[in-house]
Amino acid sequence: MNGSARSHRLPGLILLLCSLLLACTIAVAAEGAGRGFRVEHAAGVWQDGYLDGPAQGAMFSGNSLAEDGAGNLFVMDITRVRVITRQGRVWTVAGNGVRGFRDGPADEAMFNIGGRGYEYCNIGVDGTGRIFVPDGHNNRIRMTSRKPDGSWWVQTLAGGGTKRLQPGQKGKSLEIYLKEPVSLAVDARGNVWTQASSCLYKITPDGETFAYQNPAGNVVYMQADGVGNVYLLVRQDWASHYWKVTPDGVAQRMAGLTEAEVNLLKKAKQPLPVDGPALGSTFFAHATFGVSADGAALYGGSGDENVPRRVMDGSTMSLFAEGWRKEENNRRAGLNIGGPALVARDGSLYLVSTNPPRFLKFRRLVPSN
């Protein structure tokens, strides 16, 4: 081999070594949690893009996760629905990679997610394995399901009509107008919840949609627990807060200061509280969170600090010792690992990095004991 050939291969070898190092498990102790967490590389490299294959070498551009009953993870990846299987493989379920609108065979379907200034959405899966996507620019909720012959099919579940519902009204799901939905959650009864305009909508399996008043605001991510409640992440400029919605559509704020409350503290030159009482904690801009199946614990983050934080029993606690106040030290220590996006059925917490190429895409926090 001549010197020129070596010089061309050297960057590739360095990249491979970096990939192996980044994929190694990092052991980290949790502060005050009574137990530690093992941090694992779940899927995705540090570069945005599109590449199927082995999970730890795949490329993603989406930032949401949903889990089916078999433990497979689904991602809405800009123009495609993709799956990370329990066996560690990534493949495309639906979408042909082109922005647009087309129902029908999954490999020919077209999506155009985003809206309200966001170019992402979150995804949901029901108990039968059907996958739901808020297709914001198409003003619809789309459903991907498997046909009896095993092939996948995409169809519109709700939206695309002209009827505008007001709080307290209901209508046929395919006749209503949904303006730029970017988030959804599937509750324990198979209802799909979303937010558009000033309403929260519950889309039932039998094709009806109920509208409820939305007191929360700009919802950017939704999750459901296993007992019928839905949780909302509301983003106001740099202040985020969480709401809990009961099965009958009653919403109540459960954690996080509002933008107005943050501004009052800033005006008074008071420090912004981080951990402590949940309704007095500050959550800065972020896009994802996870909730446990029993609804007892919600895991959120804080924007670029990417330090997981837990809301439980009315209190907020950062899971890592340094907290977000020493974020630069955390990055050097490998703690800038992404924000929570899903609590899996086995209790592990999946984290997503929203700003590659610095970080791996999906990691998993596993309780060490």
One pLDDT digit (tens) per residue for the chain, 369 residues: 444 443 344 344 333 333 333 333 333 333 333 346 788 899 999 888 999 999 999 999 988 999 999 999 999 998 999 999 999 999 999 999 999 999 999 999 999 999 888 888 999 999 999 999 999 999 999 999 999 999 999 999 999 999 999 999 999 999 999 999 999 999 999 999 999 988 999 999 999 999 999 999 899 999 999 999 999 999 887 789 999 999 999 999 999 999 999 999 999 999 988 889 999 999 987 889 999 999 999 999 876 556 788 999 999 988 875 544 444 444 444 455 678 999 999 999 999 886 655 567 898 988 776
Rounded Cα distance, 225 and 213, in Å: 21
Residue identified by tokens 């402590």 is 276
pLDDT at 11: 43
Rounded Cα distance, 100 and 112, in Å: 5
Distance linking the first and last C-alpha atoms of the chain: 50
Contact by Cβ (8 Å): 226, 293:
yes
pLDDT at 68: 96
Contact by Cβ (8 Å): 338, 359:
yes
CB half-sphere exposure, 162, CA atoms < 13 A:
0
Residue 9, token pair as written in the block? 């291969």
Residues of the chain with CATH 2.120.10.30: 64-214
**Cross-strand partners of 54:** 89
Q: Which of 298, 305, 294, 288 lies closest to 341, judged by CA?
A: 288
Indicate whether this model's pTM tops 0.75: yes
Is 64-214 CATH 3.90.79.10? no
Rounded Cα distance, 342 and 65, in Å: 6
